[in-house]
Amino acid sequence: MELSKKLKRTPRKKERKEPLILKVEPYTYLIPAALIMGLFTFWPFFQTIIRSLYLTDNLGRNALFVGFENYIELFTSSSFYNSVLITVLFVIIVVVVGVVLGFCTALLCQRTFPGIRFFSAAYALPMAVASSGIALVFLVMLNQSIGIVNQMLGTNINWLADPNYALLSIGVLTGWLNSGINFLYFSAGLAGIDRSLYESASIDGANRWNKFRFVTIPSLKPITFFVVVTNVINAFQGFAQIKILTSGGPGESTNVIVYDIYRNAFMNYRYGYASAESIVLFIIVMILTIIMFKMSKGGRINA
């Protein structure tokens, strides 16, 4: 009892409060980045939302408030639904080609052999090539008369003018462009796998296929999820190669949503309608991203 009384009588030291400036100072370093983000990202986004509620003149200035009429017209347009379908097919082709090509090339470069640096640089090269520049190269390669693709395959296909092959051709090109960065991601993931896992599998009598199936693939699940998500988002933004190679044609066989937005805004001068289409595209990409994160338990995939 006496000890407790003494402890009660002992005055406690007052905690030193940090000056307010020390609490605020770290946030001041974020101001330049926040201003840039606000000026070039958030402000244009809010302007797009506002413009989607207006009819505009040829200069893009808001002329007449029409509320949700642009959205109503959009959702009753058969051309828009065709663009959505074409975009979905395009995204599937791009993701499958880009992910498979990046993964396979990363596997090939896991073994040491003469010229490994050359092959690694070649596989990563697409990430350093501008899509517009390589599209001009493919324009010649896919030419029906002098193109190397027809000469190698022994065919006589007009790859960019045939509705059955135009979307596939551009999808494969875009997938190859994405394969360079995918190669780097998968190479980093493969290099991070603990070698002891393969040694333990060898001791248990596992062959190469079982090691690949039960060690490599589960260990790469987080990297694979990240690569798929980024490839889906990038595929929805594909534009330059479509503009150069097909301009949305033949017909509307390659008229993805991004190109349809460009056509409505800068060719038909319907900026309000194009803005509504942009908002819908944003919502579609956001919903797909959320679904993928939910399917992967918030992005935390357990190997």
Give the per-residue pLDDT at 4: 54
User: In three state form, how does the secondary structure of 151-165 look?
Assistant: HHHCCCCCCCCCCCC
Give the per-residue pLDDT at 299: 45
> Rg of the Cα trace of the chain?
27
Give the per-residue pLDDT at 303: 45
From residue 147, alpha-carbon distances to 33, 136, 144, 160, 208 in Å are 47, 12, 6, 11, 40
Whether the CB-CB separation of 126 and 172 falls below 8 Å is answered with: no
Place of tokens 């190397």: 148
DSSP character at residue 54: E
Partners of 56 in beta bridges? 62
Tens place of pLDDT for every residue, the chain, 303 residues? 555 555 455 555 555 666 666 677 778 888 888 899 888 888 989 999 999 999 988 888 888 999 899 999 999 999 999 999 999 999 999 999 999 999 999 998 887 777 778 888 888 888 888 888 889 999 999 988 888 999 998 889 999 999 999 999 999 999 999 999 999 999 999 988 888 888 888 888 888 888 888 889 999 999 999 999 999 999 998 898 999 999 998 888 999 999 999 999 999 899 999 999 999 999 999 998 888 888 876 445 444
Cis check: omega of the bond before 163, within 30 degrees of 0:
no
Two tokens at 126?
Answer: 């697409």
| CA separation for the pair 247, 89 (Å, rounded) | 17
pTM across the whole model: 0.85
Two tokens at 143?
Answer: 């030419």
Angle at 293 between CA 288 and CA 297, to 5 degrees: 150
Helix axes 257-266, 271-295, angle to 10 degrees: 160
Partners of 65 in beta bridges? 54
Give the per-residue pLDDT at 272: 93
| CA separation for the pair 45, 51 (Å, rounded) | 10
Place of tokens 């594909």: 238
Write the DSSP assignment of 234-297 as a string of letters.
HHHT--HHHHHHTTT-STTTT--HHHHHHHHHHTS--HHHHHHHHHHHHHHHHHHHHHHHHHTT
